[in-house]
Amino acid sequence: MKKNDLKNALKREAPFFMIMPALIWQVLFFFVPFFIILGLSFVTFYGPVIGQIVTFNYYLSLCDNAHVRIVARSLIFAVLNAIFCLICAYPVAYFLARRITRWKNFFLFFLILPFWTNMLIQIHAWFFILERNGLINTILLKLGIITTPLHLANNIGSVFLLMVYCYMPFMIMPLYSILEKLDQRLIESSYDLGANNWQTFFNVTLPLSLPGIKTGLFLVFVPSFGEFVIPALMGGSKHMFVGSLISHYFLMAFDVQKGAAFTIASGLVLLLVFVLCNWFFSKKMRTTKGPSYAAFTPESLPSDVNSGE
Amino acid sequence: MRQKESSISRYCLPIVTVGLYMFLYIPMIVLIIFSFNSKEYTYQWSSFSLKWYYELFDSIEIWDALKNSLIVATSSVILSSVMGVLLVFYSAHTYAKKTFLLFYGNLVVPEIVLAVGLLSFFAFFSIPLGITTLIAGHTLVGLGYVVPIVHARFLELDNRYKEASLDLGATENQTLMRVILPLLSPALFASGLLVFIISLDDFILSFFCAGATTQTLPIYIFSMMRSGATPVVSALSTLLIVISSILVLIFSSLQIKKTDMLQ
């Protein structure tokens, strides 16, 4: 009887045991490490004796010019990268989503491919273009525009170029998918009501694609803020970025606690930008997507709005 | 009534598009061409040769790295898919139905923070770095993709399938295996492929969690590039580009089939 009770209880609680593996995995490898990092940034170890004191020294030691400059540099790079990608990607996404009719899958394939290509390969490829005797220098020398090869690789400009190159697909994809779903009837009604191309674009197309713009900006901004590979390979190790400094503290200097404090601090900077950006977009989207628009979702439009010409 | 296209959208859009495609592909094409170059340590063309490919296939290190990469990718796909499906299915309609939200963090947090956190975790509990720790990290990232994708698909499913199956006397487990899993399989396959390629391509997490002795393919490429890239890297890159294009083809044909089914 008792054994049966236990069996029934186990059966009843089966869902609990089934969801546990994923939850344990997540807690163990995501939340516990987070608290370890947080703990490391506050706690001092005194030699072999386990005397631990809570301290803010690690954070205070970050408040010097060098660290602030590195965070600012990463922030500016990430913001510029996101905006630059947006400006370049929007027309392309628009063209592919709304103008191309034939060969669409072909174009899409070549859009997705860089997305799935290893970033290291992309960096390696750019050395053929930018090196002292690479493609650009060879062409310019042949044309006689320059007489000595330019130093194009391993500087801060090439880092930015590579960032734009590597993160461009992250911007194009969300823009493409939102522009593709955009209801043609809304654009046509804008024309019918007398708006010209530019008015239609700024008052209808652009506001409706804001969710895609937001996703794209985040997808580019967040990883490029913590970028570590591109500066390490293309940066000529002259300029530090947030990602390279974190890896320096943890892997080279073994100054784990300062590294932890720096990770938390730059994470807070990222969070701040994230919240600000989110607030900005939700304000924008609320003004364009008020109750008056909500009544005009594609589903609520009568289906014969197009055929009744 | 469609207004006439302005000259800007008629001429500028295609030009910008072509420009962007050229920007994206010229470096790759040059890389592929130069992987067949016979001369070493130069970016100037001399003659066609396959010797870097022969060297690539002769290298023991690369095969070893590839083996590690494949082991890690396969295990993280299996682990994250199984755990993800179990979580999504058994947490639905219970007190734990919001737990999937916990997994969104894996994608939002910059990868280097994840990597540093995992490294400190392993150091804190003095777990030796190696293939196991790599699998742990990659499965974590994998869960970040599998859970949202499978959960979204699960919500689209008609709950009456599950109820009908339970009414007809199937147990919860039978319902999952016979009814829900076949319905989820397209989403599961897509997310599995995504996790596989992401794990195969992942560098930052692997760099931190692999330790000194274990090498995956991206770590190998990174160390080769650091110590002055030889054309072997170009040959390897060319092969990897070919492999990713095949995977993309599979992936996109999958998407197309899915939309065909819906129509």
Nearest by CB: B20 against A92, A120, A131:
A92
Residue A108 shares a structural domain with residue A140: yes
Residue A27 shares a structural domain with residue A128: no
A229 found inside a domain: yes
B43 found inside a domain: no
Residue A34 shares a structural domain with residue A146: no
**How many domains is chain A built from?**
2
Q: Which of A23, A30, A43, A165 to mutate to test the interface with B (most CBs of B within 10 A)?
A: A30
CA dihedral A81, A84, A88, A90 (to 10 degrees): 90
Average the pLDDT over B219-224 and give the result: 90
Q: Does B214 or A307 have the greater pLDDT score?
A: B214
A295 found inside a domain: no
Q: At A54, which helix (H) or strand (E)?
A: strand A49-54
A302 found inside a domain: no
B28 found inside a domain: no
User: Which pLDDT score, from 0 to 100, does residue A42 have?
Assistant: 82
Residue A24 shares a structural domain with residue A134: no
Strand partners, B48: B37
A22 pLDDT more than 70: yes
User: Which one of A216-220, B160-164, B250-254 scores highest in mean pLDDT?
Assistant: A216-220
Strand partners, A49: A46
User: Which pLDDT score, from 0 to 100, does residue A60 have?
Assistant: 78
A293 found inside a domain: no
A96/B17 CB distance under 8 A = yes
**How many domains is chain B built from?**
1
Structure tokens at A106: 């072909």
User: Which pLDDT score, from 0 to 100, does residue B178 have?
Assistant: 85
Q: At A52, which helix (H) or strand (E)?
A: strand A49-54
A281 found inside a domain: yes
Residue A106 shares a structural domain with residue A229: yes
B146 found inside a domain: yes
pLDDT in tens, B113-149: 999 999 999 988 888 998 999 999 999 999 999 998 8
* Helix, coil or strand: residue B170: coil
Q: How many residues does chain A have?
A: 309
Taking CB atoms and an 8 Å cutoff, what residues of chain A touch B89? 18
Give this complex's ipTM.
Answer: 0.86
Radius of gyration of chain B (CA): 23
**For chain B, what percent of residues have pLDDT higher than 70?**
91
User: Which pLDDT score, from 0 to 100, does residue A46 have?
Assistant: 54
Average the pLDDT over B225-254 and give the result: 84
Measured distance CA(A90)–CA(A96) in Å, rounded: 10
Taking CB atoms and an 8 Å cutoff, what residues of chain B touch A32? 121
B24/A168 CB distance under 8 A = yes
Which CATH number fits the domain that encloses residue B221? 1.10.3720.10
Residue A43 shares a structural domain with residue A123: no
A148 found inside a domain: yes
Taking CB atoms and an 8 Å cutoff, what residues of chain A touch B107? none
Range in A138-147, B4-13, B189-198 the model is least confident about = B4-13
Residue A151 shares a structural domain with residue A192: yes
Residue A104 shares a structural domain with residue A251: yes
User: Which pLDDT score, from 0 to 100, does residue A72 have?
Assistant: 92
Residue A224 shares a structural domain with residue A107: yes
B52 found inside a domain: no
B86/A263 CB distance under 8 A = no
Residue A20 shares a structural domain with residue A153: no
Structure tokens at B82: 């199984």
User: Which pLDDT score, from 0 to 100, does residue A302 have?
Assistant: 43
Residue A155 shares a structural domain with residue A218: yes
Residue A89 shares a structural domain with residue A108: yes
B2/A191 CB distance under 8 A = yes
pLDDT in tens, A250-306: 888 878 888 899 999 999 999 999 899 889 888 887 765 444 444 444 444 444 444
A136 pLDDT more than 50: yes
B93 found inside a domain: yes
Would you give the end-to-end CA distance of chain B in angstroms? Answer: 28
User: Which pLDDT score, from 0 to 100, does residue B94 have?
Assistant: 76
pLDDT band at A52 (very low <50, low <70, confident <90, very high): low
User: Which pLDDT score, from 0 to 100, does residue B262 have?
Assistant: 42
Average the pLDDT over B182-198 and give the result: 88
User: Which pLDDT score, from 0 to 100, does residue A83 have?
Assistant: 94
pLDDT in tens, A72-82: 999 999 999 99
A307 pLDDT more than 50: no
Give the range of the structural domain holding residue A261, as residue numbers without chain letter. 67-288
Q: At A46, which helix (H) or strand (E)?
A: strand A43-46
Nearest by CB: B124 against A36, A124, A125:
A36
A294 found inside a domain: no
User: Which pLDDT score, from 0 to 100, does residue B6 have?
Assistant: 67
B159 found inside a domain: yes
The reply to whether B1 touches chain A by the CB within 8 Å rule is: yes
Of A5, A36, A56, which marks where a domain is finished? A56
pLDDT band at B29 (very low <50, low <70, confident <90, very high): very high
User: Which pLDDT score, from 0 to 100, does residue B255 have?
Assistant: 64
pLDDT band at A240 (very low <50, low <70, confident <90, very high): confident
Q: Which residues of A283-297 are buried (b: 16+ CB within 10 A; e: fewer)?
A: eebeeebeeeeeeee
CA dihedral B98, B102, B103, B107 (to 10 degrees): 130
B47 found inside a domain: no
Give the range of the structural domain holding residue B99, as residue numbers without chain letter. 59-262
Range in A67-81, A162-176, B249-263 the model is least confident about = B249-263
A2 pLDDT more than 80: no
The number of beta carbons lying within 10 Å of the beta carbon of residue A181 is: 12
A84 found inside a domain: yes
Q: Does A296 or B159 have the greater pLDDT score?
A: B159
Q: Does A289 or B59 have the greater pLDDT score?
A: B59
Instruction: Give the residue among B66, B172, B79 at the shortest CA–CA distance from B132.
Output: B79
Which CATH number fits the domain that encloses residue A87? 1.10.3720.10
User: Which pLDDT score, from 0 to 100, does residue B89 have?
Assistant: 86
A112/B112 CB distance under 8 A = no
Measured distance CA(B238)–CA(B47) in Å, rounded: 18
User: Which pLDDT score, from 0 to 100, does residue B258 have?
Assistant: 52
Measured distance CA(B208)–CA(B114) in Å, rounded: 10
Nearest by CB: B241 against A89, A117, A134:
A117
B49 found inside a domain: no
